[in-house]
Structure 1
């Protein structure tokens, strides 16, 4: 009688992912807590500064310290600059190799100071990078390499987003859909277990209330779905505008600001002062603003002015190179746009005023979906953050329409575009040490690899096809094996050639 042998591989990855999630959850929850408390103090100072100018002097000294500290941190480790998501995506693709010892503490300190100072920056991108650093540290301590190490990095990234937003399902999906571009069973199970445990840690710190909780009890009428299509089109067009402005602003800084890149942060720190004095409640990433819109929607003209202000100053804040992301600012812009659109329809008696909150929520999903080109993540993220699953259909309609508009206008996923710029700036990345690594590439339906025999594909000379994963089965490929849509190709290559081999096979899939 044959003895039953248990395959514990996935179970081991799930346990390791859970441990990474706990550690990343603690790091990111403390990061989030520090930002919230610092931002609350800054808002108090702005409100008091109207009648007590010496408070503003203290704030000026604080901003000077924020600038000097971040300038030093960014100069020492440029990879802490900006969101952090492109860097993580580059790590997982084999394009970049980063040192968690250099990045982790600098990103944590610099992010707290930059985001907590009131700039229009989000905590979620930095949280993803912090989580990825924790996953990398865990993997390197356990002496993992290649695909195993990348699974821990992916798990940490999911844990970071989960702890920042209390959205574990969306966090795991975001890593698979947008960051790793791979639904490998080992990756998504690791990411999901890490996201769940990180969320548990975060709930201990911040409680059970959803991050962007809004009460919207009215279903959107089917007869008014045409307005949702128009909303999706509006979001798509303005999504292209946001993408072009955000990608162009670093070059504007380089041309107009006559001092080094790491010193550019002084510009937004000076510009945020009049904004904070006039409207202290709108500074920061925007989560408090989104919640306030759900409680009381301002007039249409106010919302239009708020959108323009946040669009311009979000790009200025991000373009400075300070540690801080665009994740939450994108959602905030979407919420403001949704409020403006819904209010405008209500003003002309085309829509009930009770449905304005619905428009705010749908627009958040749509704006994120089109800019990041991650519609599934957008739908689940907003659903988890708001705390209701009653309105998935209108969310999906707006997200899909906005996504299609950006795709027709040749918009790229913004984090992918940022990664391309990052790699171009850095040139060729030198990676020390040489070892064999596994690369998993999905075969999409419609790919030119679909229905081809293995022998008919001109594989890169640095690559060896060692397996084809089809559902739960793993096939040993032969020359006459037919590749099917939905397969995952398991490629063996040298670690240094990982990114190049991936690009070559993706090119073959499009050009055969």
Structure 2
């Protein structure tokens, strides 16, 4: 049924009411999760500052190691599918190939996420909130016997609500469903509007409770049109970096999977300990990176410092994610892109007649470009960056960077990261993934047969 042919009915109203409940519930849940993390961050920072150098490092190493190990064991014993971001789990559930143990996942994701992210791992909040959003929608679906396409639509609405709450970016959340889950999402008037309703309400609840505007507000004015050529060149580099990132992430996860099952807690222990040390000696290399981005843009970092930070955060997210604890890769990817983009901008400003604010423009454009190359959702990359930074004057430059990055990744043979993660998950669970994924985009208002 197309959007034009759809008519409003009592069943539509009941379904949209469920979507509204999902949005409000997810907004409150995400706010509680974020508030808990902020409390842990501030408490942990206060503890470190109250201790002397050597003692602070030792205590941090022990605490972070214990927290990450506890998060790993909690996930393994309660809900193994709660490891990582969970986006691939939602896509698998919408294909009827992955379990939906909503209560177990909520417990493991919420408390495991607090332990893992609170320890300083290079992981983002958005992964847990997206997964928890879908599980909240699953709880509503079971309580009211929602089935079939409506059920899958409500799962997508919950996931979108989780992303909207994580970044206060409802439009990007809606587009994420359109681009990322185009293979699984049952497009219809009801399901599409349910995603919109849930995303709006989730972001509204979060903003009302936290009073937070754009998460990574960056003030950048227009840049010369001729500099778009430089951003296109940067997009090519980001496209290659995105393909390498996807390959490296899967490779590290496969490497850890070779460790005997009874010893897989050891990487979590070691990674947590190293993170605790870095919290004291190089804190910029830890955490999701939301707070780091604005500092990088406003401060005058040298090109070699930016390259070093890019490498450290790149490696940090690979090992943090592969450790098997809850956490997302969106926020770390944005921070990696910021470092790489600023390095490119610093080099450009030093060699060409460009204003210093071109550095910030490169940082903003790089966020979208790296996201587009890895996730292969260029439109989401553009809108997400706009909503996060508020730098709407840079829509054209970001479009250029995202387009060239996505095209480069495509021609290098790269594939979307969550598609690869889902295939890996299905393979490890003994299920055969689709031999040839359907890459044909689905038009709004239509459904695949």
TM-score clears 0.5: yes
Q: Please give the alpha-carbon distance, in whole angstroms, between the structure 2 residues aligned to 1:326 and 1:265.
A: 17
TM-fit CA distance, 1:271: 1.4
What is the aligned partner in structure 2 of residue 479 from structure 1? Answer: none
Other structure's SS at 2:15 match: helix
1:58 is displaced (CA, Å) by 6.8
Give the aligned partner of residue 333 of structure 1: 336
The answer on 1:284 being equivalent to 2:297 is no
Cα distance 1:45–1:444, how it changes in 2: closer, same or farther (>3 A)? Answer: closer
Q: CA deviation at 1:239?
A: 0.9
In structure 2, relative to structure 1, the CA distance for the partners of 1:348 and 1:119 (3 Å cut) is: same
Partner in structure 2 of residue 193 of structure 1: 197
Deviations 1:132-174 (A, max 9, x none): 0000001110111121111111111011111110000111111
- 1:335-354 equivalent positions in 2, closer than 5 A: 335-354=338-357
Q: Give me the TM-score of the superposition, normalised by structure 2.
A: 0.91
Closer/same/farther in 2, CA of residues 256 and 304 from structure 1, 3 Å limit: farther
Is the partner of 1:251 in helix, strand or coil? Answer: helix
Cα distance change of structure 1 residues 6 and 203 upon mapping to structure 2, 3 Å threshold: closer
Counterpart contact for 1:46–1:56, Cα < 8 Å: no
Q: Which residue of 1 aligns with 2:267?
A: 264
2:223 aligns to what SS in structure 1? Answer: coil
Aligned twin of 1:128: 130
Cα pair 1:128 1:161 within 8 Å, conserved: yes
Q: Confirm or deny that 1:424 pairs with 2:383.
A: no
1:115 corresponds to: 117
**1:230 positional shift:** 0.6
Secondary structure of the corresponding residue to residue 143 of structure 1 = coil
Cα distance in 2, alignment partners of residues 35 and 311 from structure 1: 22
Deviation, 1:274, is: 2.6
Q: Which residue of 2 aligns with 1:157?
A: 159
Q: Which moved more, 1:89-98 or 1:63-72?
A: 63-72
Aligned with residue 225 of structure 1, among 218, 221, 228? 228
Q: Deviations over 1:316-341 (max 9, x none)?
A: 11111111111111111111111111
| Structure 2 CA distance for partners of 1:347 and 1:47, relative to 1, 3 Å | farther
Distance 1:268 1:392 in 2: 38
Q: Distance in 1 between matches of 2:228 and 2:63?
A: 52
| Residue 364 of structure 1: how far off its partner (Å) | 0.1
- Conserved? CA contact 1:100–1:137, under 8 Å: yes
Structure 1 residue 488 and structure 2 residue 443: aligned? Answer: no
* TM-superposed deviation, 1:29: 1.1
**Residues 299 and 6 of structure 1: is their aligned pair in 2 closer, same or farther, counting only changes over 3 Å?**
closer
Match among 13, 17, 21 for residue 15 of structure 2:
13
CA–CA distance in structure 2, aligned partners of residues 224 and 249 of structure 1:
37
For 1:278 and 1:6, the matched residues in 2 are separated by 59
Task: Provide the residue aligned with 2:211 in structure 1.
Answer: 207
Distance of aligned partners of 1:418 and 1:350 in 2 relative to their CA distance in 1, 3 Å threshold:
farther
- When residues 84 and 318 of structure 1 are mapped into structure 2, their CA distance, relative to the original with a 3 A threshold, is same
How far 1:98 moved relative to its partner?
1.7
CA–CA distance in structure 2, aligned partners of residues 227 and 335 of structure 1: 16
Contact 1:45–1:56 (Cα < 8 Å) also in 2: no
Between 1 and 2, higher relative CO (CA 8 Å, sep ≥ 6) is seen in: 2
Among 254, 260, 279, the alignment partner of 2:257 is: 254
Q: Aligned pair 1:300/2:300, yes or no?
A: no
Aligned 8 A contact 1:24 1:160 in 2: yes
Q: Which residue of 2 aligns with 1:505?
A: none
Alignment partners' CA distance in 1, 2:310 and 2:78 = 35
- Residue 6 to residue 224, structure 1, CA distance change in 2 (3 Å): closer
In structure 1, how many angstroms separate the alpha carbons of the residues matched to 2:444 and 2:48?
A: 57
Q: Which residue is 1:482 aligned to?
A: none
Rounded Cα–Cα distance in structure 1 between residues aligned with 2:209 and 2:8: 38
Q: Does residue 45 of the first structure (1) align with residue 58 of the second (2)?
A: no
Contact 1:212 1:386 in 2 (8 A): yes
Which structure's CA Rg is the greater one?
Answer: 1
Report what 1:466 is aligned to.
none
Where does residue 106 of structure 1 map in the other structure? 108
1:360-392 residue CA offsets vs partner (Å, 9 max, x unmatched): 000000000110000111111111111232221
Q: Partners in 1 of 2:215 and 2:163 — Cα distance?
A: 12
Deviation per residue, 1:182-217 (Å, 9 max, x gap): 44332221111101100111102221421111111x
Q: CA deviation at 1:347?
A: 1.9
Q: Output the CA distance in 2 between the equivalents of 1:58 and 1:220.
A: 43
Shift of 1:38: 1.1
Correspondent of 2:400 among 383, 397, 400? 397
Distance between the aligned counterparts of 2:112 and 2:228, measured in 1?
A: 44
Q: Give, in whole Å, the separation in 1 of the partners of 2:444 and 2:88.
A: 30
